[in-house]
Structure 1
Amino acid sequence: MATEELDVPASPDAQEGRITPARAIKDEQGAASSFGRALTFVEERLAAGLRWIMFLSLLGLSLTMVAQVVMRYLLEWPFLGIEEMAPLLALWCYFGGMVYSTRHRTHIEGGILTLITSNPRIIGVARALGTAIALVVLCVFFYYAYAIVQFNFDIGRKSAYLRWPRYLWDLSFLVGMAGMALYLLIQLWFELRHVKLVWGGR
């Protein structure tokens, strides 16, 4: 059949020419360098940790909501501490998901540039520049997030009902932003290598 003879890309990343951190690191595993093997090993452990964080926090959030309904409407004994636990679990789930989506590059992107030009040099430079700008902006956000965490830690701020340290909530966005910055840095590294390649470098 004619469709069987077509060279269909294996994934949208291959079709659109985008570099995905997870795929680039996996491809680097085949390299003979010890750096490639070490990077792959560390990244796989990090990805496994992210999956566990998202799974446990989402499971805990679901069970917390069920417990709240049972205690409030069946036992008529509402526990206000659940109102503090829910945002805690949700934050860890959200920011873990943000890191994981950055790893797979599944966040929303415009992709308008590919409609204007098909020049791989221009597209490669534009994507590397966009990643660099995103990384810089994320570092600025991380700085202010760290300032908030440090402030709450210094004053010993605690939650109203459970009396848990406030940094348990705050650490979620610090860890999330640090993980996103790591994957954006990896993405930028591979994009710069790609730009060098398409511009005739070695």
Structure 2
Amino acid sequence: MERFFKYILPLLISIVAAVEFYQVLMRYVFELPVMGLDELLIYPTLWLYLLGSVNAAREDTQIKANVLDVFLKTDKSKLAVRVVADIMSVVVSIWLTYWAWDYFVYAKTVWKESPTLYIPTFWAECSLFIGLVLMTFYSGWYMLTNMRRLATFPAPVKES
């Protein structure tokens, strides 16, 4: 998976940057607006956003505010708080994935098209469900990993 993200994320951001550059160049330098570029840009932008989030979940590098770590003294208590946070993340991810599934089914059923280019919007809309499924998977993975670490955490050594 690391190889996939290593290549797809830079490719998507390059596409977004190139299309935006082209649009700015055409609109403001040549004063020739190109119709449909905004529509076309939605596809790589949504996939970039969701796959970037999946990559952060995969690497466990999401932005976190570990405020309680300042007040906790032991590594075990910090790990216990992390497990609670992981459980809440998984619960919220499952809930959001459930709603994204409903939206996925709706988008597939309705099969809307973009107004100018007539591209099926399903290909952008499905990124939400796919991204949330993967984020839920990785969140669950780290939750189980941290639960195992907490269960096997060494007991403190008592001095005699």
Pairwise TM-score range, normalised by the shorter structure: 0.7 to 0.9
Return the letter of the residue paired with 2:34.
Answer: F
Return the letter of the residue paired with 1:168.
Answer: W
Return the letter of the residue paired with 1:119.
Answer: T
Worse overlay, 112-121 or 148-157: 112-121
Q: Which of 57, 77, 94 is the equivalent residue of 1:122?
A: 77
Counterpart in 2 of 1:139? 94
Any residues of structure 2 matched to 1:51-66 within 5 Å, and which? 51-66=6-21
**Structure 1 segments of 4+ aligned residues over 6 angstroms from their partners:** none
- What is the CA deviation profile of residues 95-128 of structure 1, one whole-angstrom value per residue up to 9, with x for unaligned ones? 1111112222222212222222222332222211
Give the structure-2-normalised TM-score. 0.86
Any residues of structure 2 matched to 1:23-102 within 5 Å, and which? 46-102=1-57
Instruction: Tell me the CA shift for residue 77 of structure 1.
Output: 3.4
> Does 1:169 find its partner at 2:160?
no
Matched residue SS, 1:110: coil
> Does 1:157 find its partner at 2:116?
no
Worse overlay, 138-147 or 120-129: 120-129
Instruction: Tell me the CA shift for residue 196 of structure 1.
Output: 0.9
Instruction: Tell me the CA shift for residue 75 of structure 1.
Output: 4.5
Instruction: Tell me the CA shift for residue 68 of structure 1.
Output: 1.2
Counterpart in 2 of 1:183? 138
- What is the CA deviation profile of residues 34-74 of structure 1, one whole-angstrom value per residue up to 9, with x for unaligned ones? xxxxxxxxxxxx22222322111111111111221233244
Return the letter of the residue paired with 2:149.
Answer: H
Query: Aligned-pair RMSD on alpha carbons?
Result: 1.8
> Does 1:192 find its partner at 2:137?
no
Structure 2 residue runs without a partner (length 5+) = 156-160
CA distance in 2, matches of 1:149, 1:124: 36
Matched residue SS, 2:152: helix
Q: Which of 66, 75, 81 is the equivalent residue of 1:111?
A: 66
Structure 1's 114 and 69: CA in aligned 2 closer, same or farther, altered over 3 A?
closer
CA distance in 1, matches of 2:27, 2:79: 56
- What is the CA deviation profile of residues 125-172 of structure 1, one whole-angstrom value per residue up to 9, with x for unaligned ones? 221111011011011111111211211210121111111111111122
CA distance in 2, matches of 1:76, 1:111: 49
Aligned pair count?
A: 155
Worse overlay, 85-94 or 70-79: 70-79
